[in-house]
Amino acid sequence: MPFTFLLVDDEPELIETLAQRLRHRGYEAHCLFSGKEALKRLEDDHSIDIVVLDIRMPEYDGVETVKELKKKHPLVEVIMLTGYADVQSAVETIQYGAFDYLTKPCDIDLLISKAEKAYSRKKEREARIFDIRTKPYITKQERDAMISGVLKG
């Protein structure tokens, strides 16, 4: 089943081309041009599964965006994208919850492969949280602790 991408980059031509290639392969893909726009979109649109997020953007960069995004939407998976081979930023974003990291220009098959793995993790986490929420004999504190463990793991 195809999932939905949100592509976020301050280079419109790059992400529009990437979106067209994803749509051609049967995926739904939306484009935005800043981290703040992405956070606003995620507040209003709960159909987004995978965010492909550029690290280097003016105003609100990808590191700040992924930190805020994962606080508010912990089940949305994020794949970081950069034109710079900046290992420190990659490690930092993964520590904040990004699923993986690719450099520009990225191979479309590699992006899709990573996105499929990220989507699988998202669905697995959703199922585990559902199971926890439906356990009849645990306290709210135990339930919250178990859910927190799923989101951190």
Domain extent listing, the chain? 4-123
Q: CA torsion, points 116, 118, 123, 126, in degrees to nearest 10?
A: -170
Per residue of the chain (153 residues), give pLDDT as tens: 588 999 999 989 989 999 999 999 999 999 999 999 999 999 988 889 999 999 888 888 888 999 999 999 999 999 998 876 666 777 788 889 999 988 888 899 999 999 999 999 999 999 999 999 999 889 999 999 999 999 887
Task: Mark 31-66 as b/e (b = at least 16 C-beta within 10 Å).
Answer: bbbbbbebbeebeeeeebbbbbbbbbbeeebbbebb
CA pair distance 58, 93, nearest whole angstrom: 17
Superfamily of domain 4-123: Response regulator (3.40.50.2300)
Would you give the DSSP letter of residue 67?
H
Look at the pTM and tell me if it is higher than 0.75. yes
Tokens of 37: 């726009």
143 CA to centre of own chain: 25
